Amino acid sequence: MRYTLLGVFCVFLIFNASQTLAVDTFCQETKTLIVFGNGIMNSEPEADRSKNRLQELLQATLTPDEFKRLEFAIAYNQSYGLLRDLYESLKQKLGADNVVTSFWRWLGGRDILPDAVQQEFLRVAASFDFSTRVGTQDLSIHLALYRSKTLEGKKIVVVSHSQGNFFVNAAYVALHSGTDPLTTNSFGVVSVANPASFVAGSGPYTTLFEDGVIAAIRAATVPGIQPPLIWNLTNILSGARTSDWKGHGFLDEYTAAGSRSVNKILPDVIATMNGLQQPPQTVQDGIITATLTWGAQPDVDLHAYEPNSTHVYYAHLQGISGRLDLDDVTSFGPEHYFVSCSKLETGTYRIGVNYYSGSGPETAQIQILAGSSVRNYTVPLPSARGSSGDQSPIPVASITVTGDTTNGYKFDIVGGL
């Protein structure tokens, strides 16, 4: 059909938007989502490697039956502020030419980090207010993931590193307050290298004595501000091969093979997971899901067009391969569409929204999961369109499915088509 294209903005990519996987591997019944929340100066590929490290550690520890009930994700947060502050400071102290040619090589470990750069990094880290860098866009994306997985009846354990602790602390408060708070103890936090003064939900934490970033922040804390949690472990003389001069890296320090820290973090994750309650399941999990939330206006509707041309929405809940299994007409949402593994079709699924009723501008948040890919979109809705918008919803994204059960399926998510 023809779509009327209005302003649709892609906010953030948690996973790569193109994944190939076998349906029978993905479509196992999972009970717990393990999320890695990244810290300072982590790129998305680095955060993904940290998530993979957690996955490897748990797979090596749990029984096959226990491990297959887990799924894994990233709650990625931007942290450009510290890099910018450090870069500008080094330019002033060391000269622009030297910094321009060497900055990324230093941080990437390709060149030996001079003592002056190490000292300046720790000084800038100490003066950097991590708690003010919880971006609302990133946090809203994290919350969309947590809420959708809770609706699917999944327990959630977030392993938060460094700055990620501020994000998960804020998410914990949001999930347990407001108009639709969690009613079960189903969301837990395992904190690593925590620059904050507490762990949400009183979860366990690990901070190393040799963590120079946390030590610098603690030393620079001004009166009236709660300092970071005190260190509670050391890898010194443990025999582990750690390789982060800051003592702060999740991969190079905290989960280094044979370290005392990895031997604490892993049991903390398992104990936290086992101590949570399974939340009630109100929507179905699927190999493709789309979840819509919005604000206080009464009704925004989620629409899906399947490769077979079936239009799924509030007036036609059941499609050939998918179903709208949650519809809301009383503000905020969510609305939820899913495609079951057994009915997945190749071709293109199209997701859209229609602002059905309300008295002022509204904003829709849509999270699309396809295989292991996640995309998040924010759609401005200037005014309600009523039933006239049912046949021309605002396009949000298309999900193109290629492949087969023998060779696996590929999912490509593209915004605005």
What is the average per-residue pLDDT within 45-68?
95
Residues linked to residue 370 through DSSP beta bridges, in sequence order:
288, 373
pLDDT higher than threshold 90 for residue 12: no
Sign, CA dihedral 242-245-248-251, equals: negative
Question: Are 133 and 166 contacting, i.e. CB atoms less than 8 angstroms apart?
Answer: yes
What is the average per-residue pLDDT within 215-238?
84
Architecture of the domain whose range is 29-79+133-275:
3-Layer(aba) Sandwich (3.40)
Residues linked to residue 335 through DSSP beta bridges, in sequence order:
292
Tell me the three-class secondary structure of 318-342, residue by residue: ECCCEEEEECCCCCCCCEEEEECHH
Who contacts 270 (Cβ-Cβ below 8 Å, separation ≥6)? 58, 61, 62
Strand, helix or coil at 306?
Answer: coil
Of 214 and 259, the structure prediction assigns the larger pLDDT to 259
Any idea where the domains of the chain sit in the sequence? 9-24+286-415, 29-79+133-275, 80-131
pLDDT higher than threshold 60 for residue 164: yes
Q: Which amino acid is at 126?
A: A
Q: What pLDDT is attached to residue 316?
A: 97
Of 58 and 134, the structure prediction assigns the larger pLDDT to 58
Query: What is the residue-averaged pLDDT of the chain?
Result: 85
Phi-psi region at 126: left, alpha or beta (left = phi > 0; alpha = psi -120 to 50) = alpha
How many distinct helices (H) and strands (E) make up the chain? 10, 17
Share of the chain above pLDDT 90, in %: 59
What is the average per-residue pLDDT within 235-258?
90
Q: What pLDDT is attached to residue 29?
A: 78
Of 158 and 212, the structure prediction assigns the larger pLDDT to 158
Q: What pLDDT is attached to residue 195?
A: 87
Q: What pLDDT is attached to residue 278?
A: 96
Residues linked to residue 36 through DSSP beta bridges, in sequence order:
74, 159
- Where is 151: in which H helix or E strand? helix 136-151
Find the Cα–Cα–Cα–Cα dihedral 220, 111, 206, 278, rounded to 10°: 120
Sign, CA dihedral 366-368-374-375, equals: negative
Of 205 and 341, the structure prediction assigns the larger pLDDT to 205
What is the average per-residue pLDDT within 255-272?
97
pLDDT higher than threshold 60 for residue 250: yes
What are the CA-CA distances from residue 306 to residues 287, 313, 372, 417 (Å)?
14, 11, 19, 13
Residue with tokens 């490697």: 49
What is the average per-residue pLDDT within 308-315?
97
Band (276; pLDDT cuts 50, 70, 90):
very high
pLDDT higher than threshold 50 for residue 5: no
Characterize the bridge pairing of strands 373-381 and 299-305. Answer: unpaired
- Among 45-54, 124-133, 160-169, 276-285, which stretch is predicted with the lowest mean pLDDT? 124-133
What is the average per-residue pLDDT within 290-294?
94
Share of the chain above pLDDT 70, in %: 81
- Where is 412: in which H helix or E strand? strand 408-415
pLDDT higher than threshold 80 for residue 219: no
Q: What pLDDT is attached to residue 389?
A: 95
Give the number of residues written for the chain.
417
- Among 142-156, 258-272, 378-392, 403-417, which stretch is predicted with the lowest mean pLDDT? 403-417
pLDDT higher than threshold 60 for residue 256: yes
Band (209; pLDDT cuts 50, 70, 90):
very high
The answer to whether the peptide bond before residue 195 is cis (omega within 30 degrees of 0) is: no
pLDDT higher than threshold 70 for residue 335: yes
pLDDT digits 0-9 by tens, 80-137: 566 666 666 676 666 666 666 676 566 555 567 678 777 877 777 776 666 556 667 7
Of 171 and 19, the structure prediction assigns the larger pLDDT to 171
**288: which 2 tokens?**
């493709």
pLDDT higher than threshold 90 for residue 232: yes
Q: What pLDDT is attached to residue 213?
A: 82
pLDDT digits 0-9 by tens, 360-400: 999 999 999 998 888 989 999 999 999 999 999 999 999 99
Band (8; pLDDT cuts 50, 70, 90):
very low
Of 344 and 372, the structure prediction assigns the larger pLDDT to 344
Q: Which amino acid is at 228?
A: P
Who contacts 50 (Cβ-Cβ below 8 Å, separation ≥6)? 36, 38, 42, 161, 250, 251, 255
Identify the CA nearest to 35 among candidates 234, 172, 220: 172
